[in-house]
Structure 1
Amino acid sequence: MAQIYLVRHGQASFGSQNYDQLSELGQQQAQHLGQWLDRSGFSASRVVAGTMKRHQQTAQACMAELPAARQPASEWEIDAGFNEYDHHEVMVRHVPAFEDPTEVKRFLASSPNAKNEFQSMFQAAMARWMDGKHDAEYVESWPVFRQRCIDALERQINHAQPAKSIVVFTSGGTISTLCQYVLGIPDRNVAELNWSLVNSAVTKLMFQTGQPVEKPGRLSLSYLNNFSHLEALNTPNTITYR
């Protein structure tokens, strides 16, 4: 059996002009993950990252903690198939006023409960995106995004050069969607799963090499949302979800 480790990026810069970069804490989360992997004796046969800056920054900070002998011999792969869906578009199609970033900032500063209210609005926006009634309004509809993620996973499994331990640095929406693919959970549960994923947490998939990916039982979930590297610090504020 071979393994694919799906790593959610470290905390990004929510509320800033450029969300797609790690915060200082996000950088530390990725480093803690790398140190945890090092202590466990982990070796990576292949490293893959999405094209987003937060993916690649997490990969760099994490893998820098492993000795060269346990790094892959070949260069890291970059695969846009593991990119996150467009949060901004999903939200704006539901709340057009949020096209203006200053309106988002104004809303977040409007009350102590604004973040919770924003979360509820985003959940409704996700439901709209996924209900299939508005697909033509999105550059990337939910079915297209889902298939993109699955195709990216299959590329890794069917890679010309088999690897025993593949590490993929990606995003929560992508990981949740791939878990849906493996477990067969309903669409409505994908967003709920996404809310629970911790920054820099690891989800591990197992697969049998040398067989078509569609074969039943070939792909399975070993564990989900493992953030032991953060729990071991005994510092609650290092555990984040956005």
Structure 2
Amino acid sequence: MVEITLVRHGQAQTGAGDEESYDRLSDLGRTQAQWLGQHFKATERTFDHMICGTLKRHIGTAKAIQENLPLEIQQDPRLNEMDYFGLAKSLEETHAVQFPTDRESFITHVSQILTVWQSGEIASHLETFEAFQTRTKAIIDMAENLGGRVLLVTSGGFIGMAMRILLQLEVRSYANVLLQIHNTSLHRYVKAGDHLVLDAFNAIPHLEMPDRAFARTYI
């Protein structure tokens, strides 16, 4: 049996202008992750492996889940997010596209970045689109080979790229998927025959109660 569950990190520092400032869970983000761990415990959801990226928001989310899910946390930098702030800076320098200041402008911005990134029109010192795609596939392959139930704590861009690979999405569809990913949402793939198939997308069972509506965040 193979089951791979990807979890996006809890809310980080909304409004930050660079990766260092962004890469830390907010109080709400920590609570979201704790609630997810409590949900796993209440529903007796078990995993054989928990692996997170090496970013602070990934580790913080994994540790908050671990409070109710006694499982060793492994770290793997291949689960880390794309350098969105670096890509945004390059896009501004090469195409005069300003960093978004609200969700509406962010929607357009994501599609612009992914399109330019894929075509190679981004600063040469940044990770290429192909390299990001390759490391995403590598960690998914590793999780598949581990077998059992594997929990991966990562970021929205990685989750969207995994979906692009497994569902063969075009870049525009990848952008649309990425924009809708909730903080601490669940995305599950199960193996059917020789293929991984999508079993759940953007699930937030730990946030469905009316009194937790405020905690359903994208950024």
Q: Which runs of 5+ in 2 are unaligned?
A: none
Can you list the C-alpha shifts for 1:150-177, whole angstroms capped at 9, x where unaligned? 0111122223xx4x21111000110111
Residues in 2 aligned to 1:28 and 1:126: alpha-carbon distance in whole angstroms: 31
- Kindly state the Cα deviation for residue 123 of structure 1 after the two structures are TM-superposed: 3.2
Instruction: Tell me if the contact between 1:90 and 1:126 (Cα under 8 Å) persists in the aligned partners.
Output: no
Residues in 2 aligned to 1:183 and 1:115: alpha-carbon distance in whole angstroms: 26
Q: Tell me, what secondary structure is at the counterpart of 1:235? A: helix
Which residue of the partner structure matches residue 149 of structure 2? 165
Which residue of the partner structure matches residue 143 of structure 1? 130
Which residue of the partner structure matches residue 184 of structure 2? 200
Can you list the C-alpha shifts for 1:75-116, whole angstroms capped at 9, x where unaligned? 42211111110011111111139xxxxx96xx84xxxxx453
Q: 1:57 aligns with which of 50, 57, 60?
A: 60
**Normalising to structure 1: TM-score of the pair?**
0.80
Which amino acid in 2 is paired with 1:224?
F
Q: Which has the larger radius of gyration?
A: 1
Residues in 1 aligned to 2:128 and 2:23: alpha-carbon distance in whole angstroms: 21
Residues in 1 aligned to 2:23 and 2:120: alpha-carbon distance in whole angstroms: 29
Give the share of equivalent positions with the same residue, in percent.
28
Which residue of the partner structure matches residue 116 of structure 1? 104
Which residue of the partner structure matches residue 237 of structure 1? 214
Instruction: Tell me if the contact between 1:2 and 1:165 (Cα under 8 Å) persists in the aligned partners.
Output: yes
**Normalising to structure 2: TM-score of the pair?**
0.88
Can you list the C-alpha shifts for 1:108-127, whole angstroms capped at 9, x where unaligned? 4xxxxx45334433432232
Q: Which runs of 5+ in 1 are unaligned?
A: 98-102, 109-113, 209-215
Which residue of the partner structure matches residue 213 of structure 1? none
Alignment length (residue pairs): 213
Which residue of the partner structure matches residue 4 of structure 2? 4
Which amino acid in 1 is paired with 2:137?
I
Instruction: Tell me if the contact between 2:8 and 2:185 (Cα under 8 Å) persists in the aligned partners.
Output: yes
Residues in 1 aligned to 2:114 and 2:143: alpha-carbon distance in whole angstroms: 28
Matches within 5 A, 1:1-242: 1-16=1-16, 18-66=21-69, 68=70, 71=71, 75-96=72-93, 108=101, 114-130=102-118, 132-134=119-121, 137-159=124-146, 162=147, 164-207=148-191, 217-242=194-219
- Kindly state the Cα deviation for residue 186 of structure 1 after the two structures are TM-superposed: 1.3
Residues in 2 aligned to 1:185 and 1:124: alpha-carbon distance in whole angstroms: 16
Q: RMSD of the alignment, in Å?
A: 2.2
Misfit runs of 4+, over 4 Å: none
- Kindly state the Cα deviation for residue 149 of structure 1 after the two structures are TM-superposed: 0.5
Which amino acid in 2 is paired with 1:28?
T
